[in-house]
Structures are given as structure tokens and as C-alpha cells.
Amino acid sequence: MDSVPSDDRAAEPIAFTYNPERISVIRALISEAYSAATSHHDIASTIFKEQGQEDSNIQAEIREVASTFYYRLHLERGPGSKPGATLEPLSETGTSYFWPRPIRGVGPEILKLWNELLSESIEPEIQGLLADLLFSARHPKPHIYARRAVEAYVAAQGGNFSQLDKSVMLVRAWSILRPLRLKDLEPSVEEAMMALTESTLRAEVSAPGVVLPILRCLLEGRLKEKRETKQAYIPAEAIDHLFSALDRYKADHLSMQLAYMARDCLSDKELIDLALRKAASNLLEAAEQATEGHSKTHWLQQAAKFARKFHLDDIQRECVRRLQAIDPSTFQWMTIRTASTIRPSDIESYLRIFDQPHLVDALIRFFDTPSPTGSRRENEKIAKHIIDNSLTHKIMGTATYGTHGLPQKSYGTDSEKLLYQINGIENVSLGMQGEILSAALDRMADTHVIPSTGDLAAWLVERYGSDPGLCTSLAESLLLYWGRDYLSCIQLAMPRVEAAVRSILLLLDEPIYRVEEDKSLGQFPGLGTMLPLLDKYGFDPDWSSFIRALLLTPGRNLRNLGAHGFLQDVDKQTAALVLRALSVVALLAPEETSKKACALRESLPFATGPTRTAFFDRVLLALSSRLNAILSARLVKP
């Protein structure tokens, strides 16, 4: 790692004074350190070991000489990065006690040292760095130092530094000569780049970190004459190396980076298409070699996304075909279970609130239960705690798979990871609350005579003043549940959740209808679009989160799964949760004859009325929070 020992950074600095009589000693010190070094960093580390000198002036001298070799050549890597390399210290934000200092902040004593060392007969790797430092510091006549730096970096290709360091030195030489238009030096830099690239590509173990930065420079083409408008000439050998690299480096990020180079630099459409297809073929080849389902899925997804981006329609279709054909048995799924500390007696104590003399009284209690996903604010705190205390969550993305067995969505950014983690916590709550809600409904059916749909709907309208159509749907759904037809129950109830939200927004006079435009038909938006609009009017965020977690992505996505025929078997816990979702919005929507927008606005923040936090509900929320806290603690463990 490029770093100056922390003790040296923190120590009180001793002023360095240039002494020309010490140059020969310093020169010998550098030569000795260079003899066994493979990088500038090695030279600095060796020199720093001489810090034990008692003379404070010599200590300051050793510190400054060693710090000289802690400046580094830096280049950006990855798709979209610009070609070239910069010379910089390890930190641009350090204090005056931080070495090495920013180059423009170096004092005259250090500049004298660098200039005098450069005049000595020294190795090209050292000569290149010193000349580069003087050029970057804008020492008098910087163009002279620029030329010396370029020449020295080229000459250093015969030295003992690592291939990676040689590559970066050549890229730095290219970066210096381009803006200064040193055309007479361009052939020697290009020749050295070609030689290093070719030897690396032919090596038994080939390092892409050596080849790709050089290729990006070569594909920029040669310097043009001033006022010349035609595209810069790219040597044919550089294009050959590009395709050789595509044949050699088949990792997804390398193949795609090379393909982007071709797209950005080449003008021949056939060559660009060939490069893009080679990159896509590399991804398909990796998928073919993978035997585990997740690995195969990863490669095919990467290939499909890449092919779609560059309109390689035939390759995209092939990727999707192979993706659909993956054997489900090749996925190595792992199930994580956590034991609950909730005692059966705790649940039984809560369920007793539904032991009422009349069914309608039990239903009133059911409609007053809190959000099955708990507090959105508390869930977000737990999710942040999990991410902040888990290295895996910080550095790795996550992908979810749908009921159809295919990858559905990836979560890579910090905000996406937080959203995914919140959903995971909500899903745990849904599992537990679904058990309790279904037990409550079963208890009602075992205790009371079930009324007809008409009688139950009439009571709902009379009790809650709600829309008769929605109340009828809720009543029918309840009877389907009690008849143990859970699939029919949610098939009826789920679309009516969306209808209830739409009805509320229309009563609030919210303009939601999408008028016809071009080929798009005029229509109302879907639930995912309307819920945020309802939130704007103060709809309880706990309930809004519950509906999203149950019916939309990144939650269980029951709404779309049901609409597209993927729900074939539904358990009673899921049916109970859907009923709870319908009840909370259906009972908020007033009937047409009594609609009052002001009263509706006032009721939105209290979706289950003022009794929502009754004693037993607080007990249930506390138990849920306890379970979520246990889950978060276990997920944080490595």
C-alpha cells in the first residue's frame, strides 16, 4: 500500500536545508535503495529505514529524499475513464506535516535538491520522476524537464521495475507529450508502448492492468498537425492488439472496457461491431463454462444487458433463451432461519382481543390492528444499523429472484441497498403478522356464524360510511377466506386495493388521469404511481410501506405476480395480509353521498383510527420490534 509510516507523518517536522556537499551521499543512498527496488515506492521504503540517525539535519534530509519517491503516477481505470496518467502525492488534503506535500507547495530548498540530483548521472526511473516533479512544479524552463521526463520514462523500459510500473510510466510520458505537442518524441513512446503491449499479451500470465491503459492511449491516435480536421491516425498494430486483448481477457469488466474503447475511438463501423460482438461472446462463453445456476445467471444477464445496450438483437435473444433454460436444480440456495423469542403465550394473549361476543366486534378489532410491517422509521433505523456494521452489505450488491425463478432486480447503490434491507425487515414482520392475522380470522370463523355477503357489506357501510362497492368486495373477500378459497380471496381483493386508492385520490381532487398521447392510451396510473400521491396528503407512512412491501417491488410484488398468472397457490397468511391491505384503504374511502375531502384528509394520517395504539397493539409492536432486532443482530455477524 502506498503510505508513509504514520509516525513520520505525525512527528513535528524538522526544517530541511539544502546542502550541496551532501549530494554525493544522497546519490549513494538512492543508488543503494534502487538496486533492489521494483518501484519508486520500494526506494522510498528503503530510504525511510535510515531515519534512526541522531543528527536532526540528516533526519530531515532522509525524510525529504524518501518523500520524493512517495509521489506516485496515478491513472484512472474502468469504463469511461480518460486516457493518461497524473503525478500526485498520496494526499492532496494533508497538512503541512503531511509528506509528500502537494507538488505546487514544495519549497525552493526541495526544488534545489531535485534539480541537483537530476544533474547527476542517475538511473532512468529516478531521472524520469525527478524531471516530472520539476516539470509539474513549473520550475524555470519546464519544457526542458518535460522532454527529459518523457525520454527517461521510455529508457526505463529496460530496467528492473515491474511491468505495471513500466506501463504507467509510458502512459505518463504520453500524457506529457500530448498537450505540449512533442511530436518528435511520439514515435519512441509509441514504439515502447507497442513492445510492452505485445510482450504482455504473449506472456503465459498476462496482466490486463499493463495492457488496457496503454491501449486506451494508442487508440486516441497520433498527434495531428495544427488545423487538421480529419480523424487522428490509429496505427493498425494498435487495433490488432485491441482484438488480441479481447481474445485474451474475457472477464466481464475487461471485455466491456475494451469494447467501450473500440466504440469511443474507432471510426470503422464494422470493426466496432466486431469488437462489441467479441465482448458479448466472451460473456456468453463464461456463462457456458459456469455450472452453478447463480454464476450462469450472472454472465447471461451481463451479456443480455450489454447486447441490448448496443442493439445486438440476435445475441440478446440468445442470452434470454439460455437464461430461461437454466436448470432450477443448479441454484445453490441457502435458507437462513432465526429463532423467535416470542412465546406462544404472548401470541395467545394478543389473540384474546378477538374473542368478542359478536363477529362485528371482532372485525372492528381486526380493522384496528397496526400495520403488519411495523414502524417505517424503526425499520429504517434497523436497516441502516445492519448496513453500517456489515462489510458484506457495504461492498457487495444484491439481486432478487422472482416467483418465476429468474433474476428480477439488482441493488447496487447505497440507497438501493437500504431499500432492499428495509424490505427484508418488513418481510420478516409480514411473515409473523400474517400468522397472527390469519389466526384471528380463523378464530372468528370457529366462534361465530358467518353472515351473508349482503349483510356484512351493509354493516361495513353503516359502521364506516365507506364506499358500498368497496365494502361489498371486502365482504366477499372475507367470506372467500372463511371458505378457505385463499387464491380466489386475493384475486378479488388485490385489484380492489388499487381501486380504493384511486377512489380516495379522486375524492381529494388529485389530477391522476393520463390523457392520450401519441400511441399511449388515456388511462389511470397503477398503484405504484398512486401511492406516493396519497403519501403527499399525509397517508400514514407505516401503512403505505405495508402496501408496498406486500403488493409492489421490491416487496413481495403480489399485484404483478397475480396479474401475470404466477400465483398458483396461496397460503392463508398471505390472504389475511391482502385482506388487511384492502380493509385499511377500502374503509377510508367514503361513499359518494357523504364524501367530504376535508374529513378524508384528516383521516389519512390515522388509517386505523385513534385506537390504533391500544395496549395489546403496543404489545404486538414490541414483540415485532424484538424479532426484527434479533434478525438485524444475526445479519450483521460475518
pLDDT in tens, 416-426: 788 878 888 88
The predicted structure's pLDDT at residue 595 = 58
Of the ranges 57-61, 202-206, 220-224, 376-380, which one carries the lowest mean pLDDT score?
Answer: 57-61
SS3 at position 469? helix
Write a three-state SS string for 364-427: HHHHCCCCCCCCHHHHHHHHHHHHHCCHHHHHCCEEEECCCCCEEEEECCHHHHHHHHHHHHHH
Of the ranges 37-41, 161-165, 343-347, 494-498, which one carries the lowest mean pLDDT score?
Answer: 343-347
| CA 315 – CA 300 distance, rounded (Å) | 10
Q: Which of the given ranges, 222-231, 395-404, 618-627, has the highest pLDDT on average?
A: 222-231
Question: Which helix or strand (DSSP H or E) is residue 400 part of?
Answer: strand 398-401
Quote the percentage of the chain above a pLDDT of 70: 84
- φ, ψ of residue 398 to 5 degrees: the values are -135, 145
Contact in structure between 533 and 510 (CB atoms under 8 Å): yes
Q: What is the mean pLDDT of residues 340-362?
A: 83
Nearest C-alpha neighbor of 484 from the set 563, 419, 570, 407: 570
Cell readout for 109 is 530548498
The predicted structure's pLDDT at residue 394 = 64
The predicted structure's pLDDT at residue 274 = 95
| CA 512 – CA 529 distance, rounded (Å) | 9
The predicted structure's pLDDT at residue 326 = 87
| CA 11 – CA 28 distance, rounded (Å) | 26
Contact in structure between 20 and 116 (CB atoms under 8 Å): yes
Give 3-state DSSP helix, strand, coil % of the chain, rounded to 5.
65, 5, 30
* Angle (nearest 5°) at CA 472 between 468 and 475: 135
Contact in structure between 351 and 441 (CB atoms under 8 Å): no
CA 88 from centroid of its chain's CA atoms: 28
Over residues 138-153, the pLDDT tens digits come to: 999 999 999 999 999 9
Give yes or no for residue 509 having a pLDDT over 70: yes
Contact in structure between 544 and 535 (CB atoms under 8 Å): yes
The predicted structure's pLDDT at residue 591 = 74
Quote the percentage of the chain above a pLDDT of 90: 49
Give yes or no for residue 400 having a pLDDT over 70: no
Cα separations (Å) of 48 from 64, 72, 116? Answer: 10, 16, 21
Question: Which helix or strand (DSSP H or E) is residue 73 part of?
Answer: strand 72-74
Nearest C-alpha neighbor of 14 from the set 45, 53, 43: 53
Over residues 436-480, the pLDDT tens digits come to: 999 999 999 999 999 999 999 999 999 988 899 999 999 999 999
Q: Report DSSP state, residue 84.
A: -
The predicted structure's pLDDT at residue 616 = 46
Give yes or no for residue 122 having a pLDDT over 70: yes
The pLDDT-based confidence of 13 (bands split at 50, 70, 90) is low
Q: What is the mean pLDDT of residues 289-293?
A: 87
Burial class (CB in 10 A: 0-12, 13-18, 19+), 532: exposed
Cell readout for 311 is 442493439
Q: What is the mean pLDDT of residues 606-613?
A: 54
Contact in structure between 124 and 156 (CB atoms under 8 Å): yes
The predicted structure's pLDDT at residue 199 = 95
Q: Select the more confidently predicted residue: 613 or 560.
A: 560
Cell readout for 505 is 385520490
The predicted structure's pLDDT at residue 10 = 45
Give yes or no for residue 242 having a pLDDT over 90: yes
DSSP code string of 218-256? HTT-PPPPTT--SPPP--HHHHHHHHHHHHH--SHHHHH
Q: Which of the given ranges, 241-245, 374-378, 599-603, has the highest pLDDT on average?
A: 241-245
Q: List Cβ<8 Å contacts ≥24 apart for 562-565.
A: 562/490, 562/491, 562/494
The pLDDT-based confidence of 97 (bands split at 50, 70, 90) is very low
The predicted structure's pLDDT at residue 465 = 86
| CA 164 – CA 88 distance, rounded (Å) | 17
Task: Write down the mean pLDDT value for the chain.
Answer: 84
SS3 at position 3? coil
Of the ranges 385-399, 429-443, 617-631, which one carries the lowest mean pLDDT score?
Answer: 617-631
Q: Report DSSP state, residue 311.
A: T
The pLDDT-based confidence of 271 (bands split at 50, 70, 90) is very high
Name residues whose C-beta falls within 8 Å of residue 516's C-beta, 6 or more positions apart in sequence.
522
Give yes or no for residue 359 having a pLDDT over 80: yes
Name residues whose C-beta falls within 8 Å of residue 328's C-beta, 6 or more positions apart in sequence.
293, 405
Largest Cα–Cα distance in the chain?
Answer: 107
- Total length of the chain: 638
Residue with cell string 366477499:
476
Give yes or no for residue 500 having a pLDDT over 80: yes
Q: What is the mean pLDDT of residues 250-268?
A: 90
The predicted structure's pLDDT at residue 51 = 64
CA 577 from centroid of its chain's CA atoms: 31
Over residues 170-200, the pLDDT tens digits come to: 999 999 999 999 999 999 999 999 999 999 9
